[in-house]
Amino acid sequence: MGVPIGVLFLVLFPATIGLLLFVWGIVGRRVGDRPHCRGCGYELGGIVQNIPQCPECGKDLTAARAVGVGVRRRRPWVAGVGAVLVLMAVAPIVVVAAPAVFRAQPLWMLKQEATSRGRFAGPALSEIASRQRRGQLTAEEVGEVVDMLLKLRASPNPTWTPDAGKILVAALKDGVLTAEQASVFYAGETRITATLPARVRTAESSRVQVFVSDNGSLGGGSDPNFRAKIDVLETTVIFRDAMGKTIEVAARAKSSDGKLASVGVNGGLSFGVGVDIDLPVAPGSYQAEITTVCELSAVGLNEPIRIRTTSAAAGITVVEAGAALLTVLTGEESPEIAARLQQAIKALPVQLADGVITAGLTELGCPVPVVGELMAEITDPDGSSRRERVMYVTILRGPGSPAPNNVSEQGPAPKGVTRGSSVRLLIVPDVARAERMTGIDRVWGSEIDLGSRIVE
């Protein structure tokens, strides 16, 4: 396909003008009418007609173009304007042609750029990943790339992109990494943190939230080639009071296999799992340190590896049984927040497709965390009404709420709900579930009426 004449004109015209201005500015123009030696610049004045040679350098002044008239003065600003015009015209061409440049490079050059920590590292890794997907790399070449990436990952402040993670995941899947390399990689890249709520009740069960991530090293959590399973084997909490006395509490397995919790994941290591633990600890303020032992089974591993982590000590308050753990806000106590919630849900989209209701709960700009259930209130033909749960709701993003949003947006449509029917939707709070979560110290406690909606 040819390039449109208009595009050529827009590129070539400013480039030509810019080049002419640049040359004119560098060469300059002659100023003055006094003769001088072209060899050394010596000003000859009126003696040029009387002497055959330059008294300064000895150049033959009778030769053609040996004597110049005036001096050239450069114009830097003109050259600068010309250079800017040329760059403005050429830059789009360079940007468009950049991928082709990387496609033409040999592997050794791409590897060099990938480890350069410069602006070309990302495009170079992207091209290597593309060649790997297309089967254009031999097993030996993939092995060389893997060695490079493992060294790069182990270096301080490595340049790392999702493409680098995808290269490693594909290599793990294809068995390019040895089991030992895979074990070392997973042990170094798997990040496990465990947290308890800031307030817990004595003599009651609480939940340790275990978060697992791959530190961004395995393709950003969206690689379809990645499969893994995490088993939580041990969770121990050590409470230390102000006097230095410690109390150790261990979670007990509820299943016959001795595991506290298990979860399988696809795409990457990025998920959380809860472990229930009894806390026979007297009320008071403590520093709590959580030790977790997990077993990881993942693509590329011949056998599971164990990863043991201990979290940094964090402050925790143990209160009497039955005491409140969160500040529960209601419409009566906080009418302004209630009004803001109602305003936020006015445009809440609700759709029904293939027996599934989708509610755009991420559109809610919640001023306070909301934890509960989205309920559909349905009026049956006989005039009776019933409520059915559509989905669990956890909206934590809001002022004073550091935890991320984790909103379930889809749920099965209740019986009798069809496209075009009217459904009254409500969010019913679940304070007990909120108390088992970390990262929040308050929660909304009143029903939120989303109103009657026509299911589109």
Residues 6+ away with beta carbon under 8 Å from 314: 195, 196, 287, 288
* Residue 174, pLDDT above cutoff 60: yes
Looking at the structure, do residues 143 and 56 belong to the same domain, yes or no?
no
Does residue 181 belong to any structural domain of this protein? no
Residue 295: the pLDDT is: 92
User: Tokens 């077993």 appear where?
Assistant: 295
Model confidence at 153, pLDDT cuts 50, 70, 90, reads confident
The pTM for the full model equals 0.59
Position with higher pLDDT, 436 vs 307? 307
Least confident of 23-37, 166-180, 405-419, 420-434: 405-419
Position with higher pLDDT, 384 vs 360? 384
Q: What is the CATH number of the domain that holds 411?
A: 2.60.40
Domain stops at, among 287, 302, 319 = 319
Does residue 83 belong to any structural domain of this protein? no
Position with higher pLDDT, 376 vs 398? 376
Q: Indicate the average pLDDT of the chain.
A: 79
Residue 403: the pLDDT is: 41
Looking at the structure, do residues 302 and 194 belong to the same domain, yes or no?
yes
Residue 155: the pLDDT is: 80
Does residue 98 belong to any structural domain of this protein? no
pLDDT > 90: what percent of the chain? 11
* Residue 212, pLDDT above cutoff 80: yes
Mean pLDDT over residues 413-439, rounded? 80
Looking at the structure, do residues 315 and 331 belong to the same domain, yes or no?
no
Domain stops at, among 319, 342, 358 = 319
Mean pLDDT over residues 361-382, rounded? 75
Give residue 255's domain range: 189-319
Residue 372: the pLDDT is: 87
Residue-wise pLDDT for 101-110, tens only, equals 677 788 988 8
Position with higher pLDDT, 445 vs 35? 445
Does residue 84 belong to any structural domain of this protein? no
Model confidence at 93, pLDDT cuts 50, 70, 90, reads low
* Residue 88, pLDDT above cutoff 70: yes
Residue 96: the pLDDT is: 47
Does residue 404 belong to any structural domain of this protein? yes
Does residue 27 belong to any structural domain of this protein? yes
Residue 400: the pLDDT is: 41
Looking at the structure, do residues 193 and 274 belong to the same domain, yes or no?
yes
Looking at the structure, do residues 112 and 13 belong to the same domain, yes or no?
no
Model confidence at 5, pLDDT cuts 50, 70, 90, reads low
Residue 94: the pLDDT is: 54
Residue 92: the pLDDT is: 61
* Residue 4, pLDDT above cutoff 70: no
Looking at the structure, do residues 40 and 136 belong to the same domain, yes or no?
no
Mean pLDDT over residues 77-83, rounded? 79
Mean pLDDT over residues 59-65, rounded? 77
Looking at the structure, do residues 364 and 417 belong to the same domain, yes or no?
yes
Model confidence at 35, pLDDT cuts 50, 70, 90, reads confident
Domain stops at, among 319, 336, 363 = 319
- The structural domain count of the chain equals 4
Does residue 144 belong to any structural domain of this protein? yes
Residue 280: the pLDDT is: 84
Residue-wise pLDDT for 305-360, tens only, equals 999 999 889 899 999 988 888 889 888 878 887 777 777 666 566 666 666 766 66
